Amino acid sequence: MMRFQNQVIWITGASSGIGEALAYALAAEGAKLVLSARRHEMLEKVRLACTEPDRHLVLPLDMTDIGTFGPSMQYVLDRLGRIDMLINNAGVSQRSLVRETSLAVDRALMETDFFGPVALVKTVLPYMLSRRQGRIVAVSSIAGLIATPMRSTYAAAKSALKSFHDALRAEVHDSGVGVTVIYPGFIRTP
């Protein structure tokens, strides 16, 4: 039996890396996917490589353009009827010393890796709460638990994701909405 049969799962950062791998695995489990990232052409390649590509929707999304989140969610609902799971996976990395990293770089990374996912959760959460079902998944990192040199802001953003979602989990514990945080370590994807 396929665990995700006919579930509508929205994956951000689906054009490569963990998001792309999740797309293939969840499509093989029978899910209907919404594939989001900034690069439309890469999303289309992922969609076509998924099991039953015609079941999946490509929805370009920039995690720093939060004004598009409401219309994007409505587009998903209009096309697929519901959202069962949101997997906030989009993000950028960083490898630089604190003393050599500009505040502008720190802010940009936090916008993509923390504030964008938070804004998307705040967009989708009322819908899930009204249905009394759904799951919100945040892809953090082991760096969100154990910071390492040259990853200061990345670690801070991933740690902030952990704390935000831990608080959210406590707030919605009896609502029918589940909250999961995933902490990948080293991976074999770009």
Residue 113 in this model has a pLDDT that exceeds 90: yes
pLDDT exceeding 70 applies to what percent of the chain? 98
Task: Indicate the SS3 state at residue 143.
Answer: helix
154 annotated active-site: yes
DSSP conformation letters of 52-110 = SGGG-EE----TT-GGGHHHHHHHHHHHHS---EEEE---------GGGS-HHHHHHHH
Predicted confidence (pLDDT) per residue in 42-98, tens digit: 999 999 999 999 999 999 999 999 999 999 999 999 999 999 999 999 999 889 999
Predicted confidence (pLDDT) per residue in 133-164, tens digit: 999 999 999 888 999 899 999 999 999 999 99
For 30-33, the CB contacts below 8 A with 24+ separation are 30/2, 30/4, 30/5, 30/6, 31/4, 31/5, 31/6, 31/7, 32/6, 32/7, 32/8, 32/56, 32/57, 32/80, 33/8, 33/9, 33/57
Residue 18 in this model has a pLDDT that exceeds 90: yes
Return the pLDDT at 12.
98
Return the pLDDT at 76.
98
Return the pLDDT at 2.
73
pLDDT mean across residues, the chain: 95
- How many Cβ atoms are within 10 Å of 5's Cβ, its own excluded? 10
Return the pLDDT at 1.
59
- 21-30, 93-102, 113-122, 160-169: lowest mean pLDDT where? 93-102
With tokens 């890796």, the residue in question is 113
Indicate the CATH number of 8-182 among 3.90.226.10, 3.40.50.720, 3.40.50.920, 3.40.309.10.
3.40.50.720
Among candidate residues 24, 75, 127, 154, the one labeled active-site is: 154
Q: At 116, is the pLDDT very low, low, confident or very high (cuts 50, 70, 90)?
A: very high
Mean pLDDT of 105-128: 97
